[in-house]
Amino acid sequence: MKRKSLPALLGLVVLSALAAGVLLLLQPSADKAEPVSADHVTIVGFSQLGSESGWRVGNSRDIVAAAERAGVELIFNNANQKQENQIDAIRSFIAYQVDVIALAPIVEEGWENVLAEAREAGIPVLLSDRYINIADESLFAGYIGSDFLEEGRAAGRFLLRKAQGCDSVRIVEIAGTEGSTPARQRAIGFREVLSGDDRFRIVHSVSGDFLRSRGKEHMLNILETVEDIDVLYSHNDAMTLGAIEAIEEAGLLPGRDIIIITIDGEQGAIDLLKQGKINCVVECTALLGDLIMDLAQRLTRGEEIPRISHPVEQVFSEFDTDVQNIPPRGY
């Protein structure tokens, strides 16, 4: 099957492993049905969900750099937080007959039809960063991303340790994008660890959509409407940084008057941890690119790959003796 010419794929940016950032017209390669030659250059169509946070920007930058390191031709599309744009991009990747589609799905629902179209076209799909809720999980080849339940549990375990000697802990939660795997599972994991200990009460929970602006808006409102807040549990650093602005504008001391627990590990959050304004940063690495490109090349060669690939992640907190020596995060 001949690939369509690039102009037919409006809105897609082709980053070549040979000249990243230069728009190239790729030559059609072997038909999908034939085994690839040893010198075949894998083409990956990557559907990125948006640019909502420093984490996402770092993730996108890492995907592009990893493609270049791996010698992969990358067609990269940023959906600007719209699922319909991701579905359109996947259809463009199918039309172009990429070797592998990689998808960072903004939400868990609504992917059955387009993934069935990819399977019909003989193109394997990798999930990057977030999971999907689908009856037929054979519609994707594998998942590369964090264990969000464990991230939530790690946040809860820090709070259990921090709250030793306390007889009542009132928690406000600013959650991520509704319907997304990280938001759903970070909430579940956190509650799982604290359940059964009636000292802990989540007195307010609201979605901030992983956006810094929403984190600030919600925290301003929470400070005016919720009494006796002991802890802020925020599902990502972007919202935390916004919330801390609100806390300081209210004349309160983040990390002292309100305990701050956040997830991601962006440089901005680590800097505030070192200053004592954040108490715990649960790492969620954005650097998934090398693993994605390796698995994409293995799929293209017809090799088996793991269904689930979790990166190794850590927790940074005030209890660490070497907080000041945390190396630069890169995003």
Angle at 181 between CA 42 and CA 175, to 5 degrees: 130
Q: What is the DSSP letter of 56?
A: H
Residue ranges in 177-196 that form contacts with ligand GZL under rule CB under 6 A = 182
Least distance to ligand GZL from the beta carbon of 38, Å?
35
Q: How far, in Å, are 159, 225, 259 from residue 230 at the CA level?
A: 11, 14, 6
Query: Which CB atom, from 236 or from 297, has the smaller least distance to ligand GZL?
Result: 236
Residue from 236, 240, 279, 297 binding ligand GZL (CB under 6 A)? 236
Nearer to ligand GZL, 55 or 93 (CB): 55
Tell me how far CA of residue 232 lies from CA of 36, 54, 100, 183, 217, in angstroms. 52, 20, 40, 15, 14
Q: Quick one: 105 or 254, whose CB is closer to ligand GZL?
A: 105
Look at the block and give the residue holding tokens 């660890």.
193
Place of tokens 């808006």: 217
Pick the binder of ligand GZL from 46, 96, 210, 331 (CB under 6 A).
210
128 sits near ligand GZL (criterion: CB under 6 A): no
User: How much of the chain is in helix, strand and coil states, percent to nearest 5?
Assistant: 40, 20, 45
In the list 64, 264, 269, 316, the residue contacting ligand GZL (rule: CB under 6 A) is 264
Q: Which of residues 51-90 bind ligand GZL (CB under 6 A)?
A: 52-53, 55-56
Q: Does 130 bind ligand GZL (CB under 6 A)?
A: yes
Amino acid at 329: R
Q: Which residues bind ligand GZL (CB under 6 A)?
A: 52-53, 55-56, 129-130, 145-146, 182, 210, 236, 238, 263-264, 284
